[in-house]
């Protein structure tokens, strides 16, 4: 199974049989190596409703007839656009044909910005995603501050790979993300959600240096980890 980082918080998972994309913010993402029209994904996983995470979901979903798995209110909003959605909520899990998804809490906001109307559409609670697929467990924390239940998430799950935001200002910074990595006890940790905008500029290599040897790994856009 190949898990690939594509800048900001975009992650793809390819098992050979199944193709998934998480938080497909491509248009306007200066670091991504992907274009929306080139995406082939049967499933789109969304952590919350902010525009830099929903991104190109509508276009990708329509061109692939993809299933969107998202927190309930966000799923309902996208369903009203004629898309195929599966709503979930914090603490809930569901066994799909590609694997199991469980939503964890995340401390952040969640509203979709309709810029043309200068309107914010409430899209429910933000979430992290525990994805168990092809015998491995991947944790995508979404956008979140540090919270102590990360220790419980680590105790209840054997996490093979965790994606953690380090940008600060809107999410955890490097020091808090270091503690999150310790609590989650993931075998590998990849930093995300940094340097896309000036206010979240960070050095991912400095973050990795805070972690035990071999745990942290910086992925450039388009680079993968084999699980």
pLDDT of the residue at 76:
98
pLDDT of the residue at 132:
98
Q: Read off the tokens for 2.
A: 């190949």
Question: Under a CB-based contact definition with an 8 Å cutoff, are residues 11 and 20 in contact?
Answer: no
- The 10 Å Cβ neighbour count of residue 4 is 18
DSSP letters spanning 88-149: E-TT-EEE-SS-EEEEEE--S--EEEEGGGTEEEE----EEEEEEETTEEEEE--S----TH
- Provide the percentage of residues in the chain whose pLDDT is more than 90: 99
Question: Under a CB-based contact definition with an 8 Å cutoff, are residues 164 and 211 in contact?
Answer: no
Integer Cα distance of 67 and 86 in angstroms: 7
pLDDT of the residue at 129:
99
pLDDT of the residue at 126:
98
Q: Beta partners for 85?
A: 68
- In CATH, the number for domain 2-226 is 3.60.15.10
85-144 pLDDT, tens digit per residue, is 999 999 999 999 999 999 999 999 999 999 888 999 999 999 999 999 999 999 999 999
pLDDT of the residue at 31:
97
Q: Which helix (H) or strand (E) holds 4?
A: strand 2-5
pLDDT of the residue at 173:
98
Q: What is the mean pLDDT of the chain?
A: 98
pLDDT of the residue at 43:
98
183-226 pLDDT, tens digit per residue, is 999 999 999 999 999 999 999 999 999 999 999 999 999 999 99
């Amino acid at each position: 199974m190949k898990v690939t980082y594509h800048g900001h918080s975009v992650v793809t998972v390819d098992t050979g049989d199944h193709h998934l994309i998480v938080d497909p913010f491509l248009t306007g993402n200066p670091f991504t190596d992907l274009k929306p029209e080139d995406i082939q994904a049967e499933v789109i996983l969304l952590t919350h409703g902010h525009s830099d995470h929903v991104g190109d979901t509508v276009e990708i979903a329509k061109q692939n007839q993809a299933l969107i798995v998202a927190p309930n209110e966000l799923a309902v909003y996208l369903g009203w656009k004629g898309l195929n959605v599966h709503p979930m909520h914090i603490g809930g899990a569901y066994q799909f044909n590609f694997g199991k998804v469980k939503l964890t809490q995340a401390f952040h906001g969640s509203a979709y910005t309709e810029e043309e109307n200068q309107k914010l559409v409430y899209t429910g609670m933000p979430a992290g995603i525990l994805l168990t697929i092809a015998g491995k467990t991947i944790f995508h924390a979404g956008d979140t501050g540090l919270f102590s239940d990360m220790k419980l998430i680590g105790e209840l799950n054997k996490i093979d790979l965790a994606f953690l935001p380090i940008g600060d200002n809107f999410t955890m910074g490097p020091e808090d993300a270091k503690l999150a990595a310790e609590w989650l006890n993931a075998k590998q940790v990849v930093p995300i959600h940094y340097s896309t905008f000036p206010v979240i500029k960070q050095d991912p290599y400095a973050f990795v240096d805070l972690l035990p040897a071999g745990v942290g790994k910086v992925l450039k856009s388009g680079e993968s980890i084999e699980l």
